[in-house]
Amino acid sequence: MTAEQFFFYAFAAMTVASAAMVITVRNPVYAVLSLVLTFVASAGLWLLLEAEFLAIALVLVYVGAVMVLFLFVVMMLDINLARLKEGFIRYLPLGVAVAVAMALMMALVVGPEHFGLERVPAPERHGPEYSNTEALGRVLYTVYVYPFEIASVILTVAIVAAIALTLRRRPHTKYQNPDEQIAVRREDRVRLVSMKPERRE
Amino acid sequence: MMAEALQAFLEFYGALPRPVQILGQIVLLVAPLMVCVAYLTYAERKVISYMQVRIGPNRVGPRGWLQPIADALKLMFKEIIIPSGANKFLFIISPVISIGTALAAWAVIPFADGVVISDLNAGLLYVLAVTSLGVYGVIIAGWSSNSKYALLGAMRSAAQIVAYEIAMGFALVGVLMAAGSLNLGEIVRAQAGEWGPVNWFALPLLPLFLIYFISGVAETNRAPFDVAEGESEIVAGFHVEYSGMAFAVFFLAEYANMILISALATIMFLGGWLSPLHGWAPAGWFEVPVLGLLLDDGIHWFLAKTAFFLFCYLWFRATFPRYRYDQIMRLGWKVFIPITIVWLLVVGGFILGGLPPWWAPAG
């Protein structure tokens, strides 16, 4: 076994095991942390595919930002495990049906008949000069420039919409205006009065 | 005699398998780093005490030089208390995450031309990704302690780090555009030129430089952005329940991160190992036998510039009162991010227009 194979199997096992943990562990904080581990392990797999930009971006965006916010929310929840398990038997048939349907769909789309060296040739190794970032940038800003720009516009619209939906002004809440607070000068608040000293009788 | 011994050592080193060589390099990096961390705490206490017209630590050893050693020994022999109701596994693993991410980023830092453990093509991205993982140590510590103060500190820290990471990332995009590379070594080499210090990116990227360093101070939870610890409000924030060595590991991670931010600011904006004397000092200066070596480019310039930023960290702490929390958020989201976006456009204009001396005119 070469070192590459060893790392592939190590990362693959880690990905599968931690992904399974996400849905099996009881504690929701552990579930989020398992998802983090899944992302990190898949980033390792991408590194083996010489996609170092994608691997680092996965860690940076999903692990470094998105999952932090997930964890943030999950830690604030006060979760009652007994209530969570209440409807387990009742929803079991529906859940199993959905799971089987999804598994079938996945098997049809990415089943074993689509893989193997005779169908997909082994990717050739690039030299140390190969830069994944550069290759990706070239493709994104030439061949796929319109889809890329359209996708970014849609994302921006989604962000604006999300903020607009949650931003509501309540009439009775009091707000601070930091600009006014910063703009305050001493003359606005303090007045120096010159007083004659008074003699105590 | 010396040359022979060196030759023999180099031969021995070359014959070692690659993982062992890398392990040797890591030890060579981490051991001095830990000494730096220890003496940074000493420097912090001394600098702040002189700024406040006191003497500072002066009992242990001559002028208090052995104070950090004494502190380390004390922390090592203290009991590690795990609070009842704490999540034991996460409680113990969070300091490990903190120190691990703080040290991992050092793998791509070039100390001098070619002196780097891993000469990564995407080095800048790697640093950003690894430092963004450091927040997990803080959040998990806060949650697993099962303590109100710790949880409050963790929440504050998470919101702050996520906010300032964006401004920091945009500042780094500016550096990437200016240098045309993500490799930290290449970024430094792009700042070399016949104008010396003027060629460094600090001038054309001045707003990004300032925003990067201020965001760096916020990322490391240092004063005046230290609301995550806020000892006057929430005792010590996320590490309030930690004692002994576990507490010391958080401390080490924080200081290692401070040095890392300073080193990165040096590399990206102040020309890393490049000597500030190039460009205006007469060429004869660099020919002088021993002194010339000191005046020319080298690791000592890198260390000196890094030390300057570290001094700034201590200076800020002694000078500024703590920010109010809503003002921290406002500064991050409403001031820094718009400025960086605007300056990215300006830098793009500079590059297209070929502004000398940083960018050659096109064509």
Interatomic CA distance for residues B131 and B123, integer angstroms: 12
Inter-chain touch A69–B162, beta carbons under 8 Å? yes
Inter-chain touch B330–A64, beta carbons under 8 Å? no
Set of chain A residues whose Cβ sits within 8 Å of the Cβ of B154: 75
Set of chain A residues whose Cβ sits within 8 Å of the Cβ of B132: 59-60, 63-65
Q: Chain A 87-106, CB below 8 Å of chain B: which residues?
A: none
The answer on pLDDT for B122 being more than 70 is yes
Q: What is the pLDDT of residues A30-68, one digit of tens each?
A: 888 899 999 999 999 888 888 888 888 888 888 888 888
Q: Are B220 and B254 in contact (CB under 8 A)?
A: yes
Amino acid present at B232 = S
Q: Are B242 and B250 in contact (CB under 8 A)?
A: yes
pLDDT band at residue A84 under the 50/70/90 scheme = low
Take residue A80 and report the two structure tokens written for it: 């009652």
Inter-chain touch B159–A29, beta carbons under 8 Å? no
The partner residue sitting opposite B122, judged by closest CB among A63, A64, A133, is: A133
Nearest CA in chain B to A70: B158
The answer on pLDDT for B363 being more than 60 is no
User: What per-residue confidence (pLDDT) applies to A75?
Assistant: 79
The partner residue sitting opposite B121, judged by closest CB among A59, A65, A133, is: A133
Residue B124, classified by CB atoms within 10 Å of its CB into exposed (0-12), middle (13-18) or buried (19+), is buried
For A34, B38, B47, B88, B247, the CA distances from B41, given in Å and listed in that order, are 35, 6, 10, 29, 14
Quote the mean pLDDT of chain B.
84
User: What per-residue confidence (pLDDT) applies to A80?
Assistant: 62
Nearest CA in chain B to A27: B87
Report the candidate in A35, A75, A76, A64 with the shortest Cα–Cα distance to residue B134: A64
Take residue B92 and report the two structure tokens written for it: 């113990």
Inter-chain touch B158–A72, beta carbons under 8 Å? yes
> How many angstroms separate the CA of residue B143 from the nearest CA in chain A?
7
Nearest CA in chain A to B324: A178
Q: Does A71 touch chain B (CB under 8 A)?
A: yes
SS3 for chain B is CHHHHHHHHHHHHHHCCHHHHHHHHHHHHHHHHHHHHHHHHHHHHHHHHHHCCCCCCCCCCHHHCCHHHHHHHHHHCCCCCCCCCCCHHHHHHHHHHHHHHHHHHHHHCCCECCECCCCCCCHHHHHHHHHHHHHHHHHHHHHHCCCHHHHHHHHHHHHHHHHHHHHHHHHHHHHHHHHCCCCHHHHHHCCCCCCHHHHCCCCCCHHHHHHHHHHHHHHCCCCCCHHHCCHHHHCCHHHCCCCHHHHHHHHHHHHHHHHHHHHHHHHHHCCCCCCCCCCCCCHHHHHCCCHHHHHCCCHHHHHHHHHHHHHHHHHHHHHCCCCCHHHHHHHHHHHHHHHHHHHHHHHHHHHHHCCCCCCCCCC
Interatomic CA distance for residues B21 and B6, integer angstroms: 16
User: What per-residue confidence (pLDDT) applies to A156?
Assistant: 93
The partner residue sitting opposite A64, judged by closest CB among B87, B129, B155, is: B129
Inter-chain touch B162–A65, beta carbons under 8 Å? yes
> Chain B residues with CB-CB distance to A under 8 A?
87, 90, 120-122, 125-126, 128-130, 132-133, 135-136, 139-140, 143, 151, 154-155, 158-159, 161-162, 165, 182, 326-327, 330
Q: Helix A3-24 vs helix A28-48: angle between axes, to the nearest 10 degrees?
A: 160
Q: What is the pLDDT of residues A136-182, one digit of tens each?
A: 888 888 889 999 999 999 999 999 999 888 887 777 877 777 778 77
* ipTM rounded to 2 decimals: 0.79
User: What per-residue confidence (pLDDT) applies to A157?
Assistant: 95
Q: What is the pLDDT of residues B51-77, one digit of tens each?
A: 988 888 888 888 888 888 888 888 888
Set of chain B residues whose Cβ sits within 8 Å of the Cβ of A76: 155
Nearest CA in chain B to A176: B326
Q: Does A54 touch chain B (CB under 8 A)?
A: no
Interatomic CA distance for residues B75 and A45, integer angstroms: 40
Interatomic CA distance for residues B120 and B156, integer angstroms: 33
- Number of DSSP helices (H) and strands (E) in chain A, helices first: 10, 0
Which range, of A51-65, A67-81, B166-180, B237-251, averages the lowest pLDDT?
A: A67-81
Q: Are B109 and B33 in contact (CB under 8 A)?
A: no
Inter-chain touch B132–A131, beta carbons under 8 Å? no
> How many angstroms separate the CA of residue A71 from the nearest CA in chain B?
8
Inter-chain touch B136–A133, beta carbons under 8 Å? no
Which of A72, A156, A174 is best to mutate for the B interface (most B CBs within 10 A)?
Answer: A72
- DSSP helix/strand/coil, B360: coil
User: What per-residue confidence (pLDDT) applies to A38?
Assistant: 93
Q: Does A74 touch chain B (CB under 8 A)?
A: no
The answer on pLDDT for B276 being more than 70 is yes
Q: Are B153 and B140 in contact (CB under 8 A)?
A: no
Report the candidate in A2, A14, A3, A17 with the shortest Cα–Cα distance to residue A45: A14
Local structure of residue B324 (DSSP, 8 states):
P
Q: Does A47 touch chain B (CB under 8 A)?
A: no
Interatomic CA distance for residues B148 and B145, integer angstroms: 9
Report the candidate in B263, B299, B253, B258 with the shortest Cα–Cα distance to residue B103: B253
Inter-chain touch A133–B126, beta carbons under 8 Å? no
The percent of residues above 70 in pLDDT, for chain A, comes to 95
Set of chain A residues whose Cβ sits within 8 Å of the Cβ of B337: none
Local structure of residue B109 (DSSP, 8 states):
-
Amino acid present at B84 = S
Interatomic CA distance for residues A54 and A166, integer angstroms: 32
User: What per-residue confidence (pLDDT) applies to A90?
Assistant: 81
Which of A35, A56, A163, A182 is best to mutate for the B interface (most B CBs within 10 A)?
Answer: A56
The answer on pLDDT for A78 being more than 70 is no
Segment B197-225 mean pLDDT? 86
Interatomic CA distance for residues B240 and B231, integer angstroms: 9
Interatomic CA distance for residues B245 and B98, integer angstroms: 13
Nearest CA in chain A to B134: A64
The partner residue sitting opposite B139, judged by closest CB among A60, A71, A132, is: A71
The answer on pLDDT for B160 being more than 90 is no
The answer on pLDDT for B291 being more than 90 is no
Interatomic CA distance for residues B346 and B352, integer angstroms: 10
